[in-house]
Structure formats: structure tokens, C-alpha cells
Amino acid sequence: MAMDNLSASLAIAGSGLSAQSQRIRVATENLANSESTGKTPGALPYTRKILSFDQELDAATGAELVTIGDVEADRSPYRIENIPGHPAADAQGNVKLPNVNVLVELADIREGARSYEANLQVLKQVRHLETLTIDILKV
């Protein structure tokens, strides 16, 4: 019963770690592709990806784990710049650039790292609680 709660804590913190690392991964993808354009005239550039967090009840432990919902495309408009001669330029010389804001992605990575650290801290503390429990035996 008691250890049950501790192992549930470990499962929850673990789910938090993987959710946050996936978030950082998606933000990094957006960041890396912030200038990826199409190759043919009028082609669409890279589209920013958005992910959302979701709760999921783990049947084994009854713990409320955190999971990643669907990764979806950001439907906000693309940036348009006039670069005649670019492979992806249309008849007017306009090129569609990805709808990625580098600052927003950086801030998202920073927040993801902070949440990751918080989950790590929980893992550490649960381990400490287990050590204290075992120490009762070492009189």
C-alpha cells in the first residue's frame, strides 16, 4: 500500500520526463526548420508543429500519468518575403517562409527544460524516501 504510492510517484515522474523531452524535441524540430522553404515555385514551406499534453489514467497503479496528445500543424499564416530568384518564389517573387517564431520556440525549450528538472527532482526525492525507509532496518 505504502510502497504502491511511491512506485506510482516514480511512474508519474517518469511520464513527465518523457512528455517534456518530446516537447523539447518538437520545439527543436521547429527551431531547426525555421528557414526551410519549398523547392518549387509556390511550394509550401515547413509548417510549425504544436503538441499538447494530456492526462491518462494508468490502470496498473491508478496514477494520473501525463501523455502527449496528437502533434498537430500550426494553422497560422506563413511569413511572406519578396525574394525574386528563390527556387520557391512565385510569379511575383514572393516566397513563403515557415510560420516559426524562433523566440517562441526558444522560450518553449527553456520552459520544457525547467519542467524536466522539476520531474527529476521528484524522482530524486522519492529515492530519498525509499532510502529513509530502508534505513529503519539499519539500527
Partner 1 sequence: MSNVLDIASLQGRWLFAKERVLAQNVANANTPGYKTANVVPFEAVVDNIGLQMTSTSPSHLQAEVSQVASFAQEDAADGATFYSGGDVNLDQEMLKSSEVMRDYALNTAVVKSFHSMISQAAKG
List contacts with partner 1 (CB under 8 A).
1-3, 5-6, 8-10, 12-13, 15-16, 19-20, 23, 52-55, 63-66, 111, 114-115, 118-119, 121-122, 125-126, 128-129, 132-133, 135-136, 139
Residue with Cβ nearer partner 1 (19 or 89): 19
Is-contact 84 103, C-beta < 8 A? Answer: no
Residue with Cβ nearer partner 1 (91 or 137): 137
Residue with Cβ nearer partner 1 (20 or 34): 20
d(CA 130, CA 7): 10
Least CB distance to partner 1 at residue 130 (A): 10
Residue with Cβ nearer partner 1 (82 or 121): 121
**DSSP-assigned letter for residue 42:** T
Is-contact 45 63, C-beta < 8 A? Answer: no
Residue-level length of the chain: 139
Least CB distance to partner 1 at residue 51 (A): 10
Least CB distance to partner 1 at residue 87 (A): 35
Residue 119's Cβ-count burial label (10 Å; 0-12, 13-18, 19+) is: buried
Least CB distance to partner 1 at residue 2 (A): 5
Is-contact 76 104, C-beta < 8 A? Answer: no
